[in-house]
Amino acid sequence: MTTEYIPRLFARDEDIRALGKGLLACALPREAWTHEAHLGACLWLLTERPDIDIDAEIAGLIRRFNESVGGVNDDHNGYHDSITRAYVVGVRLFLRETAETGLAARVNALLLSDVGHRDWPLRFYSRELLFSVPARRGFVEPDLAPLPG
């Protein structure tokens, strides 16, 4: 199921912190908000920003960022709730299992792990369900297998 893809890895902890802070401040260029940035920011939020309730706030944070760079959050573009929440589950699972301690080392290990693959949510969701409007607009339970953890 996994497609061939080599992620762009991070050289420094501060590069990841800058992504996370840029997300919060809506100060990132749109092109910087890559798959790797999404996962790096998620791991940073979970490990270095305990003041942010990621489960309650992640949707608003990403929607606000998307709008700040001219994006639209609608039935076909922008924030996708089920994909985001699946990756939050995956990042938490990864954090419970990794021995890495540095921020860049953890994010890079995440990106190289199964959870870091772009198609990881498709292990749990059919393509039809995952890319449906209801799955984009709100969290829907997977139809192939339960999310881990």
pTM listed for this prediction? 0.95
Cα separations in angstroms, 5 against 31, 36, 112, 114, 115: 18, 12, 10, 12, 13
Q: Are 125 and 27 in contact (CB under 8 A)?
A: no
C-alpha to C-alpha distance for 39 and 61, rounded to whole angstroms: 14
Q: Which amino acid is at 115?
A: V
Question: Where exactly are the structural domains of the chain?
Answer: 13-137
C-alpha to C-alpha distance for 27 and 112, rounded to whole angstroms: 27
Q: Which two tokens stand for residue 116?
A: 């870091």
| pLDDT tens-digit readout, 101-124 | 999 999 999 999 999 999 999 999
| pLDDT tens-digit readout, 62-98 | 999 999 999 999 999 999 999 999 999 999 999 999 9
